[in-house]
A = this chain, B = another copy of it.
Amino acid sequence: MAGRRETRRIGIADVALKAGVSHATVSRVMNGNTSVDPVIAARVRAAATELKYKPNPMGRSLALGKSDTIGIVVPDLSNPTFQAILRGLSVAAARDGYRVLIADSSEVSSEEAILAGEARRRCDGVVLCAPRMSDAELEELAPSLYPLVLINRTTASVPTPSLVVDYGQGIQELGAHLVGLGHRRLLYLTGPEASASNVQRLAGLRQFTADFPGVELQILPGGNTFDAGFEATDAVQASGATGILVFNDLAAMGLLNGLSARGIRVPEDISVTGFDDMPFARYTMPPLTTAAVPIASLGDLAWRRMRDLIMNNDAESPTDYFAPQMEVRGSTGPVRA
């Protein structure tokens, strides 16, 4: 029925024919490496532009053994954190002429390894965000993925760059901020148990209680959603704590709403902190005190590390620690006299 507009793709051979030279010469002028007679070069270029010739990346990739593409595997593309990393990575890589291929493991840990391997075969390197994968599995997988950049993970099996956010330090800063405001009865509303970043916050808080022996710190199971924060309202109120450290901004917003619904004033009666500094954290009522994770620059740095690995393939393999930046806003204030 419908007539196909099969505009047969034109290849290097067509240009060669039109310019009256060999494939090799066309390749040479297209890549500008070796020297070609200027007049012939011009003739080739003319033929190329006239035919709108563009080299076929597949042929190129096969011959060169590289694809100018890097892969990123993320656990969940709907998570703003990974979206920001992806964007930072993509923009930075594009500046150097690289593209990015995405693989979403949908939080399934078994998929993470498979997708990473597949991505690596199609790409020149892999940026891996695999929070669910076990250390053992990562250790086994890592060598086959080189060049590899890890996000929020490290591995000993192979020297490879890691970018890790120091959640433990961030929560300690927030805690210290509350103590500085006179709070002595604190409460941490946890995230998901399995979450590695929750574990890091807990470790940070152990250090925190050691540093501030006079401060009471309760721990209450929470979650990472708005609703989880909202539902914890009663338990928070019952705890008697005056300073609440919430796992993340989303849950903190839920708690804020719950407290407001019960007529508890923030920060007059209770101070609340979040974590992440989501775009909306500054627009809650009151605006949320939180810790900002510089996720966009994380993606950017991920590319720089990857590029070092690819270009001078003898790069160092540092671990970069990202210190969250505390943002003090209206949801924290002096403890009630």
Tally of this chain's copies: 2
Residue-by-residue, is A303-337 near B (CB-CB < 8 Å gives 1, otherwise 0)?
A: 00000000001100000000000000000000000
The smallest beta-carbon distance between A302 and chain B, in angstroms, is 15
A91-B104 CB under 8 A given contacts A77-B86, A99-B122, A283-B253: yes
A100 touches B99 (CB 8 A): no
B residues near A103, Cβ cutoff 8 Å: 94, 99
The CA of A143 and the CA of B104, in the complex, are separated in Å by 30
Q: Quick check: is A203 within 8 A (CB to CB) of the other chain?
A: no
Q: Quick check: is A2 within 8 A (CB to CB) of the other chain?
A: yes
B101 touches A99 (CB 8 A): yes
The CA of A313 and the CA of B78, in the complex, are separated in Å by 31
A90 touches B78 (CB 8 A): no
Segment at the interface with B among A31-39, A53-61, A184-192, A239-247 = A53-61
Give the one of A2, A106, A119 with max B CB within 10 A: A2
The CA of A175 and the CA of B101, in the complex, are separated in Å by 42
Interface positions of A from 55 to 74, Cβ below 8 Å from B:
56-59, 61-62, 67, 69
Given A101-B102, A260-B285, 6 other A-B residues pairs in contact with their CB atoms under 8 A = A7-B143, A54-B121, A58-B62, A61-B61, A69-B101, A78-B87
